[in-house]
Amino acid sequence: MRSEHNIQIVRERLVGWAPEIELCGLEHLDAARQAGHGAVLWIAHFAFNALAAKMAFARADFEVFHVSRPEHGFSKSRFGIRFLNPIRTGAELKYAAGRVVIDRANPAASMNEARRLLRQNRFVSITAGAWEGELLVSARIGQSAMELAGGAPRLAKVAGAQLLPVFVVRDDSSGKIRVSVERPIDLDSRRDKAEMIQGATQDFADRHLPYLKAYPHQWRDWEKLTAFDAR
């Protein structure tokens, strides 16, 4: 499915790709925009999330800026970053409002830019994973544990924005891709920042379960699960 997703990106660049996409949870996006502080879209790491989600948001007239690593694309090599990855980022930027690239020499700069966008009532998307961020949080998922960077809940809290989980899955029989925006994760009921980030991450992990049961072959992080330690 990863290879299929790459083919979809190349097809979009060459001749266009027009999948059938259903956006669910539009009311959560509308409510966040009406609240006036934007939203952080925490996108689960499923096979078809990268391009289809951006298409769905653009079709619904939402400007979403995506936070990503410098290596985002097909390759992590110097050659690939310069010549191959623009194929992917170019396809995505047809539908995203912009890209916030993480500067590892000054990571605070990218977060400040994302916070500025949120304060302008814009939307910022972050793909869930453990590949970026100074704070990694372990959350229980089923009988195992997964690690996620805690930047999404921290950014949402600091900016006063809503944190909306997003799950993108494809129906195997019809080929329709469903982009589901779920209700906001609660960021206000915990006592301190560490507890807030841990609680938000656990909530996000819990919401994976119905999607993993229905679409287990589309999740890309099975190999990253570890044994859960109750301590």
Q: What is the pLDDT of residues 60-96, one digit of tens each?
A: 999 999 998 766 655 666 765 665 666 677 778 789 9
Indicate whether 180 pLDDT > 70.
yes
CB proximity list for 116: less than 8 A, separation 6 or greater: none
Delineate the domains of the chain, giving CATH numbers in brackets.
2-227 (3.40.1130)
Instruction: Express each pLDDT in 14-68 by its tens digit.
Output: 788 899 999 999 999 999 999 999 999 999 999 999 899 999 999 999 999 999 8
pLDDT score at 183: 98
pLDDT score at 209: 96
Q: What is the pTM of this model?
A: 0.91
pLDDT score at 125: 96
Percent of the chain with pLDDT over 70: 90
Instruction: Express each pLDDT in 86-130 by its tens digit.
Output: 667 777 878 999 988 877 777 788 889 999 999 999 999 999 988
Q: 């072959």: which residue's tokens?
A: 217
pLDDT score at 89: 73
pLDDT score at 8: 80
| Mean pLDDT along residues 142-162 | 94
Say if residues 100 and 107 touch (Cβ distance below 8 Å): no
Strands 64-68 and 123-127: parallel
